[in-house]
Amino acid sequence: MLSKTIKARIARDIDVDALQLYRAKPSYGDRVSTEIRVDPGLLGDQIDRSRFRILPPIDRLGKLLEGKLRNDGVGFAMQINDNGAHAYSAAQGWARNAAIAANDKRAWDSNTRQHIASISKFFSAAMILPLLARKGIPLTARIADYLPAHWKLGQLATWATFHSVLGHNAFFESNITYDEIKRHLEITAMGIAIPWHYSNTNYALARLLIPVINGTLDRNVNYGAAFNMPQLNDVFWDVLTRKHFNQYAQDNLWSKMGIRHARLSSLLGLRRLAPFNQLQEIANNALSYPLPLTASSIGEDITEDMTGSAGTVGWHLSVNELLQAAHHIRRGTVISRTQLRLMQKEGYGSFAMATDNGGTINYHDGAWSGAAGHVSMLALLPGRRELAILSNNKRDNKGQGLQLPSLRDHVLSAYNEALRP
């Protein structure tokens, strides 16, 4: 039977998701105990015993994952949090080897920022769903009604809905800049429907849609008319949507989660433009390196200004900040638990993989490449645990493209191994 303490906690805590059974074994080096953990999402008087899961000991999971990540690239940082608190972390190698000067050498740690690439889609979905709900706009509404009115949309774009776009079912190709998206959406015709097609365009549209949905920009305004220069209209739309998307994210996402100066750029030129108190944050951004790494290797700032790709990629965050954001999203700070479950069920900015004991890991990963590259992953693990990984990964020694490790495979295999006796 459940103790009075557990019953009281279930009764008072609206923030519940599943009852998880955690069993620590002496052989794992943890304390010997069996305890009931109350997690976000389970409501009502009945306990769904089919949702009990054995959670792997965090120390075992962390060590297994760390072993898979070591020597995978130039460097990495990873951390697991449990109920918002640090539970395990590891780091290896250099975030910055010798990019600007000999004294610019910085080792990886959980506070090092890196471009998180496509994990940005997870945060775009977390912004769009509450905004649509506040404005009373259904997910079945067509996105065409919230795009610049002067765009001459093709048939495919005309029929696309928020549901099809967020779920990668709109059949768009991967275009991310304003001009690319406009050109693509104007020429697309209805083709053969395919069940699912991952596309950066789907979330690059967030940068255009959010300011219009929010009422910050009027889709019917022609900004070039005042100058009698119609060609300036797209220039203004590009500039203004960059500005207002970023401002909306700062006001409605990052500030609510206590994350300061989340930015869409790691551009080293910002050293000359940023306020003094932000210079150190910019200087701490990880760079990407080709191999073999030497003492004089010059890191590449391959993400620079990503405001033109905002929504689908672009945010620069640390492992600590990713975990802080994940915890707030799971706790309902910026998105309701119903909306989070919808994200996970429909694949809005989120993927899922099943563990060997029937649990589900919801995640999004990311990769970005230039002459070097980097990878990232944010995962909501069973229970109230979150995991984040950043790595400025290697290029192969022959210079024939990136050798990107599958962080997804690393995480799933480590999790399943940690479940075994």
Residues 6+ apart with CB under 8 A from 251: none
pLDDT of 10 above 80: no
Q: What are phi and psi of 413, to 5 degrees?
A: -65, -40
346-392 per-position pLDDT tens digit? 999 999 999 999 899 999 999 887 656 788 999 999 999 999 999 98
Task: Give 390's strand partners.
Answer: 77, 376
Length of the chain: 421
Weakest-pLDDT range from 20-29, 88-97, 155-164, 200-209: 20-29
Residues 6+ apart with CB under 8 A from 408: 351, 353, 363, 365, 377
List for the chain the helix, strand, coil content (%; round to 5): 40, 20, 40
Weakest-pLDDT range from 206-210, 313-317, 362-366, 392-396: 392-396
Weakest-pLDDT range from 39-48, 186-195, 336-345, 380-389: 39-48
**How many angstroms separate the CA atoms of 262 and 277, rounded?**
14
CA contacts within 13 A on the Cβ side of 329: 33
**CB atoms closer than 10 angstroms to residue 159:** 16
The pLDDT value recorded for residue 1 is: 45
Higher pLDDT, 187 or 163: 163
Average pLDDT, the chain: 80
The pLDDT value recorded for residue 376 is: 93
Task: Give 146's strand partners.
Answer: none
pLDDT of 16 above 60: no
107-143 per-position pLDDT tens digit? 899 999 999 999 999 999 999 999 999 999 999 999 9
Instruction: Report yes or no: 96 and 298 within 8 Å, Cβ to Cβ.
Output: no
Q: Long-range contacts: 350-359, Cβ < 8 Å, 24+?
A: 350/122, 350/125, 351/408, 353/408, 353/412, 355/382, 355/412, 355/415, 355/416, 355/419, 356/416, 356/419, 357/53, 357/54, 357/419, 358/53, 359/53
56-65 per-position pLDDT tens digit? 999 999 999 9
**CB atoms closer than 10 angstroms to residue 327:** 20
* DSSP-derived secondary structure letter, 268: G
Residue 3, judged by CB atoms within 10 A of its CB (0-12, 13-18, 19+), counts as exposed
Weakest-pLDDT range from 173-177, 225-229, 279-283: 279-283
The pLDDT value recorded for residue 58 is: 96
257-308 per-position pLDDT tens digit? 999 889 887 654 444 444 444 444 555 688 877 666 666 666 666 656 889 9
**SS3 (DSSP) at 246:** helix
**CB atoms closer than 10 angstroms to residue 385:** 26
The whole-angstrom distance between residue 392's C-alpha and the CA centroid of its chain comes to 16
18-55 per-position pLDDT tens digit? 444 333 333 333 333 333 444 444 433 333 334 567 89
**CA 301-172-316 angle, 5° bins:** 25
Higher pLDDT, 94 or 395: 94
Residues 6+ apart with CB under 8 A from 297: 97, 98, 289, 290
**How many angstroms separate the CA atoms of 24 and 33, rounded?**
6
Q: What CA–CA distances, in Å, run from 153 to 143, 145, 189, 226, 371?
A: 11, 11, 9, 24, 35
236-251 per-position pLDDT tens digit? 999 999 999 999 999 9
Longest dimension (CA), the chain: 77
Break the chain into its structural domains and give their ranges: 4-52
